[in-house]
């Protein structure tokens, strides 16, 4: 059974600081996804990582994938308040619609 | 292009009742997946429908059932509601399985 673990589960940061969220998964999978969820809202797709060594960046967020270590990271650079949200990683085979999600990392960015 | 829509937004039911949730997929998407997200947890895969047939199921009992219609919209039915069924139910659509797009969700409360 595929298991996906994120850490930390809760993260409080000051604006301007850098931090990394980790996502470990238990079995070989084809794809790794990162999503953002604001309170009471649905999930917004951030990144799709397809292969070992894949790196994608959007604004202050950068995601990477190491399939050999079964590890993905989401790095936050110079955090701003607008990044406060819950971030989920999810792992899937060839079908994104059958994803297994981690429990999420709730990020709070304070002034 | 219309995104994924879900109805109703909120629903309150009592234990033992039955509920039907609805989802309209994004234009052109032929695959719909349903997820249950309990408070403070990541979404859990319930099942997926592809071209009106069930195409995979997660670890949910048979009282969770679904349908997909020729226009690719979908329903999730839950019989004999239990308190633990209280959650946000998310529908996601995709084409080809590469990436899925989530609807706004239905918040179900079981009293």
How many other C-beta atoms can be found within 10 angstroms of the C-beta atom of residue B3? 15
pLDDT of residue A40: 87
- Tell me whether A94 touches chain B (CB under 8 Å): yes
Best CA proximity match to B30, nearest among B1, B69, B81: B69
- The most distant pair of C-alpha atoms in chain A lies apart, rounded to whole Å, by 41
Whether B90 sits inside 8 A of A95 (CB atoms) is no
Q: Render pLDDT for A24-83 as a digit per residue (tens, 0 to 9).
A: 999 888 789 999 999 989 999 999 998 888 999 999 999 999 999 999 999 999 999 999
Are B3 and B54 spatial neighbours (Cβ–Cβ below 8 Å)?
Answer: no
pLDDT of residue B47: 96
Q: Which residues of A touch B97 (CB under 8 A)?
A: 94-97
- Tell me whether A41 touches chain B (CB under 8 Å): yes
Q: For residue A50, what is the nearest residue in chain B, using CA coordinates?
A: B98
Which residues are CB-neighbours of B21 under 8 A, at least 6 positions away? B6, B7, B8, B11, B75, B76, B77, B78, B89, B91, B106, B108
Q: What is the rounded distance in angstroms from the CA atom of residue A73 to the CA atom of residue A65?
A: 7
pLDDT of residue B41: 94
pLDDT of residue B85: 98
Q: What is the rounded distance in angstroms from the CA atom of residue A86 to the CA atom of residue B70?
A: 35
DSSP state of A45: E
pLDDT of residue A53: 86
Query: Which residue numbers in chain B have pLDDT < 50?
Result: none
Best CA proximity match to B110, nearest among B89, B83, B87: B83
- Tell me whether A9 touches chain B (CB under 8 Å): no
Q: Which residues of B touch A35 (CB under 8 A)?
A: 102
Collect all residues from B whose CB is shorter than 8 A from any CB in A: 31-33, 35, 40-45, 48, 56, 58, 90, 92, 94, 97-105
pLDDT of residue B35: 98
Q: Which residues of B touch A104 (CB under 8 A)?
A: 41-42
- Tell me whether A5 touches chain B (CB under 8 Å): no
Q: For residue B43, what is the nearest residue in chain A, using CA coordinates?
A: A101
Judged by phi (left if over 0) then psi (alpha if -120 to 50, else beta), residue B80 lies in left
Confidence of residue A103 (pLDDT cuts 50, 70, 90): very high
pLDDT of residue B1: 61
């Amino acid at each position: 059974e595929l298991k996906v673990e994120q850490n930390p589960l809760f993260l409080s940061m000051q604006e301007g600081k850098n931090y990394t969220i980790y996502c470990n998964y238990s079995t070989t999978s084809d794809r790794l996804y990162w999503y953002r969820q604001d309170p009471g809202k649905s999930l917004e797709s951030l990144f799709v990582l397809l292969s070992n060594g894949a790196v994608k960046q959007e604004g202050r967020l950068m995601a990477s994938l190491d399939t050999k270590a079964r590890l993905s990271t989401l790095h936050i650079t110079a955090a701003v308040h607008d990044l406060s949200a819950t971030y989920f990683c999810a792992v899937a085979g060839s079908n994104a619609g059958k994803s297994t999600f981690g429990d999420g990392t709730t990020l709070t960015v304070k002034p | 292009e219309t995104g994924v829509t879900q109805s109703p937004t909120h629903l309150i039911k009592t234990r033992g009742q039955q509920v039907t949730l609805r989802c309209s997929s994004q234009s052109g998407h032929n695959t719909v997946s349903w997820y249950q997200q309990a408070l403070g947890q990541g979404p859990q895969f319930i099942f997926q429908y592809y071209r009106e047939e069930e195409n995979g199921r997660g670890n949910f009992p048979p009282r969770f059932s679904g349908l997909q219609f020729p226009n690719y919209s979908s329903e999730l039915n839950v019989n004999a509601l239990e308190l633990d069924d209280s959650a946000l139910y998310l529908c996601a659509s995709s084409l080809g399985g590469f990436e899925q797009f989530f609807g706004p969700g239905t918040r179900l409360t079981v009293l």
